[in-house]
Amino acid sequence: MYPALQNELANYQKRTPRSHDAHQRAMSRVPIGVASNYRYYPPYPLFVRDGKGSRIHDIDGNEYIDHNLCYGALFAGHRHPAVMKAVEEQLQVGTLYGMPHGMELELADLICERFPVEMVRFGNSGSEVTMHSLRLARSVTGRSKIIKMEGGYHGGHDAISVSVKPKEGQFGDPDHPTPVVSSAGVLKGTSDATLVAPFNNLTAVERLFDEHRDQIAAVIVEPIMMNIAFCMPDEGYLQQLAAVTRKNGAMFIMDEVKTGGKLAYGGACEYFNVKPDILCLGKSIGGGFSLAAFAASRSVMDVIAQQKMFHAGTYNTNPTVMAAGIATFRHVLTREAFEHVSKLNTRLLDGYQQTIKKTGLIGYADGAGANGALMFYPHRVRNYRDWYHVDEDIWTHYWFAMTNRGVLPQPYWWDEQWTISVQHTEKDIDEHLQVFAEIAPGLAAAQEERMTVGPLGTHAS
Ligand SMILES: Cc1ncc(COP(=O)(O)O)c(C=O)c1O
């Protein structure tokens, strides 16, 4: 760790003693002191006091422009008035029934109006719906195996806990990656059925279909890979991937848990003009409440309608969350809102690029819809193996330097990206850019110094 980075870490610790203490206490009862492994980072995570609009306060009272936004689940921003009103009204009526109430159809209609699907089932998290989407594909095709992309994240269940962050020495041939199980406790029989392909590489997928003829039920893909910060599909890649998948009798699953409520009005389906066999939605569709959905054509969903495939959940379509979801679709995820956020994102991306050019930083900013990221890599990342070599120390320096100056530029970890909410303003973006312009010369100097010592990219973790 170099001195400028050490200084930023020391400053972070000086500004946030209460977060430090809260984390110390939490660790006595909660493993690593957090409820989701991603939330931990060294030396300790910020603990949040409150959030409103585009901003949050930590428990030391420091204010931040928030581009973490719960890992992209808050396109609505904090406490969006229309969502709050709907939820407050629903709280007066009932919070949980475990019985149908009519809002299922209302929200399913809203989803089917904007995505190319005909029937919807709801859940509470992205993990849940990607898990059920795979079961759906297996039920329809009668096959077991699936293909996922190397570096892709679709939640925490066993079938996709493979090659999420595989390491050098494990991950094998870049064109024919070795599947690497990413957690202890994953059932071998389940993970053995998961095959891994590099993103943006059709030949690799075709080869897997040849090697496992008539055994593959589905290809699951995140249309823009956002578990490696921000990685765009090549022109035409998604359409061709869908075609290859269908040609081989498998289902094309688009995991739009992140893109669905943030990339465009009709998600990646609209943005890239591609139609999935099964669609997964989550995060931002709930406006700050835990809502997720999987959806497909009538004929695919028929296995559930015929009660051949089981899907259930006590909290599914709980009325509080459904009220939030309906308000979100009607008042937050509007065409005007996507236009507003997309304009802000262009402003942010352009500003980053200008500062990068001016300071000679090696890297680039990439983004679309509400998301983007600063990538410390000399050219556009096309897959996990490219991303694997981003400079982690410089990124860490960037994150703490921005955070110490009141801008949470994105969630911690360099595999994440920023989100802009409908409640962010031009002023927020300009403040963000001002802080970046302030710290960028220091980053460029550190980068140059490190380049003279060793190659770009450290990958210590
Ligand atoms: C693309 C994608 N799919 C699925 C998930 C899992 O969603 P959840 O954390 O709500 O279970 C995530 C979470 O980050 C995700 O990014």
Residue nearest to atom 16 of ligand 1 (CA): 258
pLDDT given for residue 450 in this prediction: 84
Q: How far is the CA of 136 from the centre of ligand 1 (A)?
A: 18
Residue nearest to atom 2 of ligand 1 (CA): 154
Q: What separation in angstroms does the CA of 304 have from each of 41, 112, 198, 277, 310?
A: 41, 18, 32, 15, 7
pLDDT band at 461 (very low <50, low <70, confident <90, very high): very low
Q: Look up residue 170 and give its two tokens.
A: 């494990």
pLDDT at 252 over 90: yes
Quick one: residue 389, left, alpha or beta (phi over 0 = left, psi -120 to 50 = alpha)? alpha
Each residue's pLDDT tens digit, 236-245: 999 999 999 9
pLDDT given for residue 458 in this prediction: 45
Average pLDDT in the chain: 97
Q: Are 388 and 163 in contact (CB under 8 A)?
A: no
Sequence-ordered list of residues with C-beta below 8 angstroms from that of 243, at least 6 positions apart, any chain: none
Residues 376-402: what's their mean pLDDT? 97
For residue 460, the SS3 value is: coil
Q: Are 278 and 133 in contact (CB under 8 A)?
A: yes
**Catalytic: which of 44, 71, 153, 398?**
153
Structure pTM?
0.97
Each residue's pLDDT tens digit, 404-444: 999 999 999 999 999 999 999 999 999 999 999 999 999 99
Each residue's pLDDT tens digit, 306-347: 999 999 999 999 999 999 999 999 999 999 999 999 999 999
Q: Are 182 and 165 in contact (CB under 8 A)?
A: yes
pLDDT at 355 over 60: yes
pLDDT band at 390 (very low <50, low <70, confident <90, very high): very high
pLDDT at 203 over 90: yes
Task: Give the residue, out of 153, 224, 285, 419, with the most ligand 1 atoms within 8 A of its beta carbon, to mutate for a pocket test.
Answer: 153
Residue 9, class by beta-carbon neighbours within 10 Å (0-12 exposed, 13-18 middle, 19+ buried)?
A: middle
Each residue's pLDDT tens digit, 301-310: 999 999 999 9
41 labelled catalytic: no
Q: Are 253 and 238 in contact (CB under 8 A)?
A: no
Nearest to 129 by CA among 350, 282, 325: 282
pLDDT given for residue 153 in this prediction: 98
pLDDT given for residue 19 in this prediction: 98
Q: How far is the CA of 426 from the centre of ligand 1 (A)?
A: 29
pLDDT given for residue 451 in this prediction: 79
Each residue's pLDDT tens digit, 151-169: 999 999 999 999 999 999 9
109 labelled catalytic: no
Sequence-ordered list of residues with C-beta below 8 angstroms from that of 448, at least 6 positions apart, any chain: 360
Residues 249-273: what's their mean pLDDT? 98
Task: Give the residue, out of 75, 122, 127, 263, with the most ligand 1 atoms within 8 A of its beta carbon, to mutate for a pocket test.
Answer: 127
Measure the CA–CA gap between 409 and 375, rounded to whole angstroms: 13
pLDDT given for residue 452 in this prediction: 73
Each residue's pLDDT tens digit, 170-186: 999 999 999 999 999 99
CA Rg, the chain, in Å?
22
Nearest to 272 by CA among 260, 284, 282, 280: 260
pLDDT given for residue 453 in this prediction: 61
pLDDT at 61 over 50: yes
Task: Give the residue, out of 37, 134, 227, 283, with the most ligand 1 atoms within 8 A of its beta carbon, to mutate for a pocket test.
Answer: 283
Q: How many residues appear in the chain?
A: 461
Q: Where are the alpha helices (DSSP H) in 335-425?
A: 335-359, 384-387, 392-404
255 labelled catalytic: yes
Measure the CA–CA gap between 397 and 4, rounded to whole angstroms: 8
Residues 283-304: what's their mean pLDDT? 98
pLDDT at 459 over 50: no
For residue 41, the SS3 value is: coil
Q: Is the CB of 148 under 6 A from ligand 1?
A: no
